[in-house]
Amino acid sequence: MDAVTLRILYLMLTILIFFIISCIMKGSLKIIQKLYIASSSFLIIWIGAVAGITWIEDKKAPVLVTLDAVTCASMAFLVMTMFIMSYCFVHNLTVMPKKCCWLYLFPIVTSTIAFTNPLHHLFYRHFSVYVSEVQFGPLFIISGIQYYFWSCASIFMVLRYGLKNRHKMIVWQVMLFSGGLTVPLIINVLATLKIVDFSIAATPMAFFFTIICHGYAIYFLNFLNIKPVALQNILDSIADCYVILSSDSCIINANQPFLDNFGDDYGMRINSYLTSVVEELEPRKRDVIYNLLNFFDICKQSTSVISYEQAILCERGKLYYSVELTPIFIRRKLVGVVALFADVTKLKEDMRREKQMLSREMERERLASLGQMVGSISHNLKTPIMSVSGSVDSLERLIMEYRESIGDSEVTPNDHAEIAAEMEEWLKKIKGSCAYMSDVITTVKGMAVNMNTSNITEFKLEEVFKKVLILMKQNLIKHRCNLIIENKLPEDVYLKGDVNNLVQVLTNLVDNAKDSMGTKGGDIVLRAWYKEQVVYISVTDSGTGISQEVKRKLFVSMYTSKGAKGTGLGLYSSAGLIRGKFGGEMWVEDNPSGGSVFFVKIPLNT
């Protein structure tokens, strides 16, 4: 070995020792930095052993065997450490897994065989520092194959990772890492095949180039920085697919699900331009690209987040995605847009099923309400109709009596006046019954017309109570119930909203109170009072009461205790009306004397 090569080895030793000391003094080393320092340490030992071989003048001294064994062991540990480093890089590890520690069994076995070679001569049949005189044993060949295997595996693993991600920073790191490993690999191939007559210092000097490349990647390019990978993992976690577009609509990065769903079917691949892709697509698929391009332009112009929904056709059928485009800025300059695709197919299907189910339940409730309304109308109109019918019969009788009295000398003017007065009485009863029927029909018609509309007006609670009484009167009489109304609101207090909504709520509460009373009947108290700009309404019954378990479900789900006779939408929708239309709330408490008390709270300032 010439003096120049020896000086280069000393310089490399100095640089490596200085670098390792400076790294250790910084503290808080990451796993990649620890592995890098370990590989540098193995190279120092290797170079030191090579330098020691050159110091010894007697080339047949026994210590040369030991120093050569040190070089073999150092190379084996160095190559394995770099393989583990590449594994940690590819899998984004912050802690070296235990299974990687078992890989060190290979260099341990190699080192043991090298150090014990004088006992079995399996590593060298004849050892010599001169290449022309050395005779290799079978295990030396296996050790060489092992070196090539781990080196090639490291290069393949890193290159595959770089091709898969194609992130600019990762590509540079991969090039440095794989290039640094390739140089000593080529040197060893040339030396093994005896194409070039290298000295024993050639391989460690080549690995010094590897250490330089890895060090530059680690400390200048932030080699194995988990930030790009972490950002990718974050994007994967918040979106099913994502694609990063440059400012000129070029696809610069995308995750694998995006490429699977849009790559083959829609031609959207990395390094392709959306404007070029759309021209190659069949017409029925162009809408997907057109929409993305349109919203991409809007996002760039508005420099704000843009969202839209997109349907696509693929092998699995029709899929729906919620797309969110977010502009990317570097130093206040827009450089691109990231598009996040969230698969909402299942959500839309669930919403469709839920809508159908709710529609069916609402239809059932509507029919039940309609049946209840028809029953209420029939009960409310039956009595006045019978009264009108009876009054008409009486009038017919009086008219016949009056006709027969015409020309009768015994009928005095007083008798005629009496007949007329009696007819007036029956006419008053007919008018009263007709007025009552008109009120019922007007109330029902008003509720029916405004069932699907919102008519916001100012009204008094007295008007609401009157409509409730009209609608429920005959039904309550039939079930032996008596509605007691206690309106303690001041005359100048007005509520604002849809009067029919409140009528619907209170009618439902009174009807539920009537059902809870059973066949025994009783008093139902409808009370209203005013306190601190809030109107309170309560409906009190003396029925069977409500269990705590049922109370928890009444206003938060479609729950009914009436079995097939109820849908559970009554109180659920009533609470929604009070909350949404009046800004109030509903709740239920136990009646101390038995039964339940339902409360409605309506703030006047809303």
Would you list the domain boundaries of the chain? 3-226, 239-343, 350-449, 455-606
351-390 b/e (C-beta count within 10 Å ≥ 16 → b): eeeeeeeeeeeeeebeeebeebeeebbebbbeebeebbee
Sign (positive/negative) of CA torsion 177, 183, 186, 191? Answer: negative
Burial of 432 (0-12, 13-18, 19+ CB in 10 A): middle
Q: What is the pLDDT of residues 353-375, one digit of tens each?
A: 887 876 776 666 556 655 655 66
More confident: 45 or 223: 45
Count Cα neighbours of 522 within 13 Å in the Cβ-side half-sphere. 19
> Please, which residues bridge with residue 587 across strands?
599
* Percentage of the chain lying above the pLDDT 90 cut: 11
Assess contact for 237 and 205: CB atoms under 8 A.
no
Tens digit of each residue's pLDDT (9 = 90 or more) over 529-574: 998 889 999 999 998 888 888 877 777 644 444 443 433 346 777 8
DSSP letters, 342-396, are EE-HHHHHHHHHHHHHHHHHHHHHHHHHHHHHHHHHHHHHHHHHHHHHHHHHHHH
Strand 534-540 with 596-603, pairing: antiparallel
Taking 80 as the threshold, does the pLDDT of residue 339 lie above it? Answer: yes
Residue 568's pLDDT is what?
39
| pLDDT (0 to 100) of residue 559 | 45
Q: In the structure, what pLDDT confidence band is assigned to residue 528 with cuts at 50, 70 and 90?
A: very high
Confidence (pLDDT) at 373 = 58
392: confidence class by pLDDT, cuts 50, 70, 90: confident
For residues 306-334, give the mean pLDDT.
84
Under CATH, which architecture does the 350-449 domain have? Orthogonal Bundle (1.10)
Is the CB of residue 209 less than 8 Å from the CB of residue 184?
Answer: yes
pLDDT at 351: 84
316 pLDDT more than 80: no
Q: Region 35-48: what's the mean pLDDT? A: 86
Tokens of 91: 């899998």
* Helices 569-582, 345-405: crossing angle, 10 deg rounding: 100
Which residues 6+ apart lie within 8 Å of 578 measured at CB?
A: 505, 584, 585, 586, 600, 601, 602
Task: Spell out a b/e string for 530-556, using b for 16 or more CB atoms within 10 Å of the CB, else e.
Answer: eeeeebbbbbbbbbeebeeeeeeebbe
CATH number of 239-343: 3.30.450.20
Give the side-chain half-sphere CA count within 13 A for 82. Answer: 37
Q: Which two tokens stand for residue 544?
A: 């069977």
- For residues 592 and 485, the answer to whether their CB atoms sit within 8 Å is no
For 97-150, the pLDDT digits (tens) are: 888 888 999 999 988 988 888 888 888 888 776 666 778 888 888 888 888 898
Cite the beta strand spans of 21-173 per DSSP E: 124-126, 135-136
Residues 194/199/203/207 CA torsion (nearest 10 deg): -140
CA dihedral sign, ordered 253, 258, 263, 268 = negative
Q: Name beta bridge partners: 526.
A: 485, 539
Give the 3-state secondary structure of residue 323.
strand
Q: Which CATH superfamily is domain 455-606 in?
A: Histidine kinase-like ATPase, C-terminal domain (3.30.565.10)
Helix (H), strand (E) at residue 252: strand 251-254
Can you read off the two tokens belonging to residue 161?
A: 């990772």
For CA atoms 109, 110, 116, 122, give the dihedral sign: positive
5-9, 69-73, 398-402: lowest mean pLDDT where?
5-9
pLDDT recorded at residue 539: 94
Highest mean predicted confidence (pLDDT) among 131-135, 155-159, 170-174, 212-216: 155-159
Interhelix angle 63-90/168-192, rounded to 10 degrees, is: 150
Closest CA to 366 of 438, 447, 289, 421: 447
Q: Quote the tokens at residue 403.
A: 């006709």
* Nearby residues of 559 by Cβ (< 8 Å), 6 or more positions away: 550, 553, 568, 572
- Work out the angle at residue 238's Cα, subtended by the Cα atoms of residues 237 and 239, and round it to the nearest 5 degrees: 95
Is 559 strand, coil or helix?
Answer: coil
CA 531, 590, 578 angle in degrees (round to 5)?
50
3-state DSSP of 442-487: HHHHHHHHCCCCCCCEEECHHHHHHHHHHHHHHHHHHCCEEEEEEE
Q: What share of the chain is helix, strand, coil (3-state, %, to 5)?
A: 60, 15, 20
Query: Mean pLDDT across the stretch 505-517?
Result: 88
Length of the chain counted residue by residue: 606
User: What is d(CA 216, CA 379) in angstroms, rounded to the nearest whole number?
Assistant: 93
Classify the C-alpha dihedral 534-539-545-549 as positive or negative: negative
Distance from C-alpha of 182 to C-alpha of 190, rounded to nearest angstrom: 12
The maximal CA–CA distance of the chain, rounded, in angstroms, is 172
Question: What distance in Å separates the CA atoms of residue 80 and residue 153, rounded to the nearest whole number?
Answer: 10
Provide the 8-state DSSP code for 563: G
| Cβ–Cβ < 8 Å for 534, 593 | no
- The answer to whether the pTM exceeds 0.85 is no
Q: Which fold has domain 3-226?
A: Rhopdopsin 7-helix transmembrane proteins (1.20.1070)
Separation of alpha carbons 526 and 584, rounded Å = 18
- Mean confidence (pLDDT) of the chain: 80
pLDDT in tens, 422-478: 888 888 888 877 877 776 676 666 555 554 555 778 889 998 998 888 878 877 888
10: pLDDT confidence band, cut at 50, 70 and 90? confident
Tell me the Cα Rg of the chain.
Answer: 47
The whole-number average pLDDT for the span 344-361 is: 81
